[in-house]
Chain A
Amino acid sequence: MTLRDRIERGLARLVAASTAERFAISLAALFASILVGTVLILAAGRITGCSTATFVLTHPTPFGLSRLFEVGFCYNPVTVYDRLFLGALGDPLSSGWDPFGRQMALTLRETTVLLFAGLGVAVAFRAGIFNIGAQGQLVVGSLASVLAVLQVAPLVGGVLGTAVSLSVGLAAGALAGGLYAAIPGVLKSYVDANEVITTIMLNFIATGVVGYLVLNHVKDPESFATQTRTIPDHANVPTILFEPTANFSVLALGVGVLLVGGVYYLLAHTAFGYDLRTSGLQPEAAEYGGVNSKRTIVASFGLSGALAGIGGAVYALMILGKFQTGVPSYGFDGITVSILAGNNPLGVGFAAFLFGVLKSGAGVVNFATDVPPQLVDTLRGLIILFVAMPEFFRLLGGRMKGVTRRVNRDESGGETDG
């Protein structure tokens, strides 16, 4: 048996053993975050002022017992989570639920962009690369796609024009995002610069430079906002099934789902995917097994950035129809999506949907309650924190099963890969 086979088999065992546990940990992390979020909502509800409490914490008073405590809160956590999760899906429990309604479209729209961003981050993380720069890559890809479409769309009209300009737009987004991500890749491979820092810096640089370009070179002269011209109607992503005003296209989601499968196949069944995964898990062994680690790092970065760039293209072409500064933090949400999914492309699908719900639910919460929408950003951080400490849940689970802590530790070994 060659070294390669042995590593491959070891990997397969490791993955099979950990998938179920990963799922359990992600679920537990989600619930833990919601729990902490509830405490946060209650605490914030005490700090802020209101005339009538929307939520009262007390206890039943049978047999005429006197009431020991009664605390009122300005924010009702039940309403918040009801709006956040059910509201985002357009109230599936009510009788008149329309699965193709506007709110559902908004949720799936967020899901679609997050799918690309999450896939991009997952590819990098699987290669052992902390690509925190998905946001910058997404912003760059977003502008590049709009500029490309603005150039190409007037040349071809009709259905063919839609197909051509969309393909060109996606390709431009992928190319720009990939090239932008290759910068930290080259810096990491050839001068050993820490990619966490370089990618974060490149996020700031992307925002600054893109802002400069839009303001000084490609600004729509008729608009006060810092934005480009709007792309022609026939270059818009066609909306099917769902309301056109929600700016959501099933086609884009379909492309995302196809890419989930594609990335899964690439990682699991191709030579490149093998190189990528082994250099993520065991860089020394990979190098020994004949993997060119420098090239793998740059290529993984490029692929990761290309996926994020497509996300940016979809955001700009499908949702905005133009480029505008102040792109939402899809890149950072992509990190959460990927971490929550255990960096598994198939898991990214579910995690992206969950975050789509959170993002679109934040709007519903904002509309229905006084709770600030930044709550969702805090939940995002909490989820990452909890997913980062599987040991916490292992201990918790171990205590419940009566297994001693020591045994639990030995079994888990040193495996704490994110």
Chain B
Amino acid sequence: MGERLAAVRQRVAPSGRAQTAALIGGVAALALVIVGGTLFPETILGVLLSTLVREPTAESALRLAVPITLAALGGIFAEKSGVINIGLEGLLIISAFVAVWMTDVTGNLLVGFAFGVVASTLLTLLFAVVCIEFRADQIIAGLAIWLIALGLAPFMSQVIYGGPNTESVGTVPTLTKLFGFLPPAGTLPQRLVAPTIGVGPIDALSGVLASVLTRPPLYLADVLLDASLSVYLMGLMVLLSWLVLYRTRFGRWVRASGENPKALDTAGVSVSRVRYQAVLLSGVLAGMGGSALALSIGQFTGNGPTMVNGKGFIAIVTYLFGNYNPVGAFLSSLLFAGLDAMQVGLQTAGTGIPSSLVRVIPFVMVIIVLALVGRTRIPGAAGEHYESGEDR
């Protein structure tokens, strides 16, 4: 099956046409919602628009984007180095459980968070050894990592808590909770009022201008003040990942290891060492995602597909859609998380659409997106084992 994977790499350069089509489609849909919603506030479009612009929707979109983005960043490093890490879902599951468990044991959120990262990194180490040392098929090994975590986390939860769900622990605080001097979210004014100078038309004009200019930053400030620290961690990691990948020597090695491992080898750099480092990094990042996910709720739920519920697989799609760029992956994660937030908002708004159908929207979107950008250019040597010419 290694050969089959290799066949995947022979895809052509990104088809600009498809991505443009996706973009135009997205913009058109958005325009329809905005115009239709403003003109006919009583229709479904109106409900969509009001859900879209509500601050809770933006807040939960950011919150929901955290695990997806962090896992996607991890996936980028692994796949850029030539190892397709399809086990991201499993890494999220194991770190989510361990983070809650260790927070419960130690009583310290930060320690629990760190243990979640460690657990995910250890499981990734196993994956790395199996793929790099023992030349396992990366897809099958990734599936195994997912299934192991899918069994192990509820197993441990059952052993420790007597059920698939853990006890509740604290959650990651927001910025305002941590720094008391910041104004709490929701206390900011909706908009600033321009000073009146007594001339009717000018006052009206400056009033509109002040409202248009001050509303967006105040909206953003309100959303950010209410965001948990995990959201800031995500932002930091997106930035760092981009810098590491495109502005450091290690980043160059990672990309070379995935595109042309032979050249890297010839240059005297050990391909398997670079791959080990990149894959372990993917475990660290996914671990942050899992810990953040569980500690945003303060509980691990392990029924069925667990609380992770496909976020690791959606992460893979987001970095494909974002063309392996950390910023692109973040933006497309935000898109999927936004859809998820919308469906929560729609359910509370009561549109009459059954919730079980609304819930599948993000998954349907994944398929549509994948169909439109199917022909992405994946790293040249991804999925292939690299055998150094030297005898190790």
- Using a CB–CB cutoff of 8 Å, the interface residues on chain A facing chain B are 40, 44, 47-48, 125, 128, 130, 132, 187, 191-194, 196-198, 200-202, 204-205, 208-209, 211-212, 215-216, 280-284, 326, 332, 335-336, 339, 372, 374-382, 384-385, 387-389, 391-392, 395, 406, 409, 414, 416-418
Tell me how far the C-beta of B122 lies from the nearest C-beta in chain A, rounded to whole angstroms. 14
In addition to A128-B4, A205-B363, A379-B151, 5 A-B residue pairs with Cβ atoms within 8 Å of each other are A283-B3, A374-B152, A381-B148, A391-B135, A414-B2
Q: Which residue of A lies closest to B370 (CB)?
A: A193
Tell me how far the C-beta of B279 lies from the nearest C-beta in chain A, rounded to whole angstroms. 15
Given contacts A47-B159, A215-B354, A378-B152, contact A196 B86 (CB under 8 A): yes
Tell me how far the C-beta of B129 lies from the nearest C-beta in chain A, rounded to whole angstroms. 9
Tell me how far the C-beta of A83 lies from the nearest C-beta in chain B, rounded to whole angstroms. 16
Q: A374 contacts B151, CB within 8 Å?
A: yes
Q: A417 contacts B3, CB within 8 Å?
A: yes
Q: Would you list which residues of chain B between 118 and 145 have a CB under 8 Å from chain A?
A: 126, 130, 134-137, 139-141, 143-145
Q: B370 contacts A388, CB within 8 Å?
A: no
> CA of A413 to CA of B320 in the docked complex: distance in angstroms?
31
Q: B1 contacts A125, CB within 8 Å?
A: yes
- Confirm or deny: B158 has a beta carbon within 8 angstroms of a beta carbon on chain A: yes
29 contacts between A and B (CB under 8 A): A40-B152, A48-B159, A125-B1, A128-B4, A191-B371, A192-B374, A193-B367, A194-B320, A196-B139, A204-B363, A205-B367, A208-B359, A212-B354, A215-B354, A282-B3, A335-B143, A339-B140, A377-B154, A377-B155, A378-B148, A382-B144, A385-B126, A388-B136, A391-B135, A391-B136, A414-B2, A417-B2, A418-B139, A418-B140
**Residues on the A chain within 8 Å of B92, using CB:** none
Tell me how far the C-beta of A393 lies from the nearest C-beta in chain B, rounded to whole angstroms. 9
Tell me how far the C-beta of A185 lies from the nearest C-beta in chain B, rounded to whole angstroms. 13
Q: Which residue of B lies closest to A335 (CB)?
A: B143
Q: A376 contacts B147, CB within 8 Å?
A: no
Of A283, A380, A389, which one neighbours B151 at CB under 8 angstroms? A380
Q: A202 contacts B151, CB within 8 Å?
A: no
> CA of A409 to CA of B135 in the docked complex: distance in angstroms?
11
**Residues on the A chain within 8 Å of B387, using CB:** 409
Q: A374 contacts B4, CB within 8 Å?
A: no
> CA of A379 to CA of B8 in the docked complex: distance in angstroms?
31
> CA of A392 to CA of B149 in the docked complex: distance in angstroms?
21
> CA of A380 to CA of B367 in the docked complex: distance in angstroms?
28
**Residues on the B chain within 8 Å of A193, using CB:** 367, 370-371, 374
Q: B310 contacts A200, CB within 8 Å?
A: yes
Given contacts A205-B363, A389-B130, contact A187 B144 (CB under 8 A): no
- Confirm or deny: B375 has a beta carbon within 8 angstroms of a beta carbon on chain A: yes
Q: Would you list which residues of chain B between 143 and 174 have a CB under 8 Å from chain A?
A: 143-152, 154-156, 158-160, 164
> CA of A216 to CA of B155 in the docked complex: distance in angstroms?
34
- Confirm or deny: B317 has a beta carbon within 8 angstroms of a beta carbon on chain A: yes
Given contacts A196-B86, A209-B360, contact A372 B1 (CB under 8 A): no
Q: A197 contacts B313, CB within 8 Å?
A: yes
Majority DSSP secondary structure for residues of A touching B: helix
Q: Which residue of B lies closest to A384 (CB)?
A: B144
> CA of A180 to CA of B313 in the docked complex: distance in angstroms?
20
Q: How many A-B pairs fall under 8 Å by CB? A: 176
Q: Which residue of B lies closest to A125 (CB)?
A: B1
**Residues on the B chain within 8 Å of A280, using CB:** 1, 4
Of B11, B126, B356, B370, which one neighbours A198 at CB under 8 angstroms? B370
Residue interface bits B303-340, CB-to-A below 8 A is 1, else 0: 01100011001001100100000000000000000000
Given contacts A196-B139, A200-B310, A205-B360, contact A389 B154 (CB under 8 A): no
Q: Which residue of A lies closest to B360 (CB)?
A: A208
Q: B375 contacts A192, CB within 8 Å?
A: yes
- Confirm or deny: B267 has a beta carbon within 8 angstroms of a beta carbon on chain A: no
Tell me how far the C-beta of A213 lies from the nearest C-beta in chain B, rounded to whole angstroms. 9
Q: A385 contacts B148, CB within 8 Å?
A: yes
**Residues on the B chain within 8 Å of A339, using CB:** 140
Tell me how far the C-beta of B314 lies from the nearest C-beta in chain A, rounded to whole angstroms. 8
Q: A377 contacts B151, CB within 8 Å?
A: yes
Q: Which size bracket describes the interface of B in this complex?
A: 35 or more
- Confirm or deny: B385 has a beta carbon within 8 angstroms of a beta carbon on chain A: yes
Q: Would you list which residues of chain B between 35 and 66 have a CB under 8 Å from chain A?
A: none
Tell me how far the C-beta of A391 lies from the nearest C-beta in chain B, rounded to whole angstroms. 4
Residue interface bits B18-33, CB-to-A below 8 A is 1, else 0: 0000000000000000
**Residues on the A chain within 8 Å of B143, using CB:** 132, 335, 384
Given contacts A384-B140, A418-B140, contact A197 B317 (CB under 8 A): yes
Of A281, A380, A395, which one neighbours B3 at CB under 8 angstroms? A281
Q: A283 contacts B2, CB within 8 Å?
A: no
> CA of A290 to CA of B8 in the docked complex: distance in angstroms?
20
**Residues on the A chain within 8 Å of B391, using CB:** 406
Q: B136 contacts A377, CB within 8 Å?
A: no
Tell me how far the C-beta of B353 lies from the nearest C-beta in chain A, rounded to whole angstroms. 10
Residue interface bits B196-240, CB-to-A below 8 A is 1, else 0: 000000000000000000000000000000000000000000000
- Confirm or deny: B7 has a beta carbon within 8 angstroms of a beta carbon on chain A: yes
**Residues on the A chain within 8 Å of B139, using CB:** 130, 196, 418
Q: Which residue of A lies closest to B359 (CB)?
A: A208
Tell me how far the C-beta of B370 lies from the nearest C-beta in chain A, rounded to whole angstroms. 4
Of B7, B86, B313, B372, which one neighbours A283 at CB under 8 angstroms? B7
Most buried by A among B11, B143, B146, B154: B143
> CA of A357 to CA of B136 in the docked complex: distance in angstroms?
27
Tell me how far the C-beta of A410 lies from the nearest C-beta in chain B, rounded to whole angstroms. 10
Q: Which residue of A lies closest to B126 (CB)?
A: A385
> CA of A281 to CA of B141 in the docked complex: distance in angstroms?
19
**Residues on the B chain within 8 Å of A128, using CB:** 1, 3-4
Q: B147 contacts A380, CB within 8 Å?
A: yes
Q: A381 contacts B147, CB within 8 Å?
A: yes
**Residues on the A chain within 8 Å of B136, using CB:** 385, 388-389, 391, 416
> CA of A149 to CA of B65 in the docked complex: distance in angstroms?
44
**Residues on the B chain within 8 Å of A132, using CB:** 143
Residue interface bits B374-387, CB-to-A below 8 A is 1, else 0: 11000000000101
Residue interface bits B280-301, CB-to-A below 8 A is 1, else 0: 0000000000000000000000
Tell me how far the C-beta of A372 lies from the nearest C-beta in chain B, rounded to whole angstroms. 3
- Confirm or deny: B366 has a beta carbon within 8 angstroms of a beta carbon on chain A: yes
**Residues on the A chain within 8 Å of B366, using CB:** 197, 201
Q: B158 contacts A372, CB within 8 Å?
A: yes
**Residues on the B chain within 8 Å of A332, using CB:** 147
**Residues on the A chain within 8 Å of B359, using CB:** 208
Of A47, A192, A281, which one neighbours B11 at CB under 8 angstroms? A192
> CA of A416 to CA of B371 in the docked complex: distance in angstroms?
29
